[in-house]
Chain A
């Protein structure tokens, strides 16, 4: 069943979009991430223009994360003060990101910018995840007692604030910086940034795992909502029909993925997710290195 996407201005098979949504939703439910980092490249491969893929993927990530946030909120797993701090940074980062994106799009390099961000960020994050989980699996037998969190140089920074729900008393600067970084990536890559935010919260900020998912969902929902709004105004590239079709598939898929994910061990899951992330980065790198079939492209002036 073909459907005409009003903003992408193209005709796509609706069942294919539902299927893509389902698979991405299934993986995101399985690994507990938003799945935007898979959605944007898949849409680009389907022929959706990069700008529309990035903006719409942010919109769908927001929709897909809302119910998760509500569930964690009810259980009190959201550190609101930390979430708001991240969010302030996130708004700054996404506003800067949207402007960068608009400039680069006018210069005709939007596809390249998105690809480079994906390859670099996914490559690094994925590799770190694989290494970390491999170490954890090897270490499992000699279970050394771990400290609650390590004291790094960042804990010596000024403007210390108490984050009660996270049981932390740290400078406000690292969470702000993490927020800016994730907001920037959200705008340029169309991702919620969960795959980056969760490890940063655990390893850099030293937050306890119980509040990490809820707080990252808090940040993701509001940052992707902000990206949706800013992209609507700056590039007019949010396709609501596309977003709803993907969303319908992904919320269904996420439920199946989540029930399956509860049967996997944490380290193994992080390792698998890391491999998936590296595979996406490798595929995108391969596309950049290969000689394209059509060297020319036509864009409206």
Chain B
């Protein structure tokens, strides 16, 4: 199907339903996830409306970060970190899902162009080129909830959709981009990008900021606080 025809189709859809001029409207339950001292992970609701027919696909992307994957090897009976692969730029978070599995809903080229699916994310490494490192990386990040290919998108009443994006406890604070796509016959018809901010707040944020920006001051404060706490604690719990 040509892009022009797709545009025509979208236009028709617009004419048919003049109240929703766009074929896809998406919104977040909230645009901010706060990491407090009691943070154990969270989830963010993505919801909206679309003009059927079609599939809704949701991709959440984090920031590119370098990472090292190491493999333990047995040296003289002892398990020790051995060969490593250094990835210059990996998303620190990647989650994807759709009303149908994305490889069914989208054409391979379209999927690659829009980097929908972990297999489309470029993972170039220096050091060992063994694909086992890439597989282990994906496996470990999947267990940690940082790479997630199983976001379910539910359709309600044929026109509304909703998806829960789990935010694991290990999430790195920063900006995340939520890419919502309407897919018809394998191609992206409409697309909307939403911004999600993950921020440290409260005490945990202050501690982390001071530790990174004023390490000497932080070290001195830790000494003073621990010494006082130890002294006060021994005084409180004295059993004589």
Q: Are A2 and B38 in contact (CB under 8 A)?
A: yes
Q: Are A108 and B234 in contact (CB under 8 A)?
A: no
In the complex the two chains form, what is the Cα distance from A132 to B71 in whole Å?
Answer: 42
- Tally A residues with Cβ within 8 Å of B: 57
In the complex the two chains form, what is the Cα distance from A214 to B24 in whole Å?
Answer: 73
A301 sits at the interface (CB 8 A): yes
Q: Which residues of A contact B233 (CB under 8 A)?
A: 63, 67, 247-248, 251-252
In the complex the two chains form, what is the Cα distance from A238 to B207 in whole Å?
Answer: 10
CB distance from B76 to the nearest CB of A (A): 10
- Tally B residues with Cβ within 8 Å of A: 64
Contact residue among A11, A241, A252, A299 (Cβ-Cβ distance under 8 Å from B207): A241
Please count the residue pairs between chain A and chain B whose beta carbons lie under 8 angstroms apart in the complex: 183
B67 sits at the interface (CB 8 A): yes
B114 sits at the interface (CB 8 A): no
Do A296 and B87 form a contact, CB below 8 Å, given A109-B81, A243-B222? Answer: no
Q: Which residues of B contact A7 (CB under 8 A)?
A: 207-208, 211
Q: Which residues of A contact B69 (CB under 8 A)?
A: 296-298
Do A6 and B208 form a contact, CB below 8 Å, given A108-B81, A228-B223, A229-B220? Answer: yes
Q: Which residues of A contact B139 (CB under 8 A)?
A: 296
In the complex the two chains form, what is the Cα distance from A47 to B112 in whole Å?
Answer: 37
Do A225 and B207 form a contact, CB below 8 Å, given A66-B230, A296-B133, A296-B137? Answer: no
A232 sits at the interface (CB 8 A): yes
CB distance from B218 to the nearest CB of A (A): 5
Taking Cβ atoms with an 8 Å cutoff, the residues of A that contact B are 2-4, 6-7, 9-11, 59-60, 62-68, 70, 108-109, 111-112, 221, 225, 228-233, 236, 238, 240-241, 243-244, 247-248, 251-252, 254-256, 259, 288-292, 294-301
Q: Could you write out 30 A-B pairs with CB less than 8 Å apart?
A: A4-B39, A7-B208, A7-B211, A10-B170, A62-B226, A63-B230, A66-B227, A67-B230, A67-B235, A232-B211, A233-B215, A238-B219, A240-B221, A240-B225, A240-B226, A241-B37, A241-B203, A248-B229, A251-B236, A255-B234, A259-B239, A259-B240, A294-B140, A297-B140, A298-B136, A298-B141, A300-B68, A301-B65, A301-B66, A301-B87
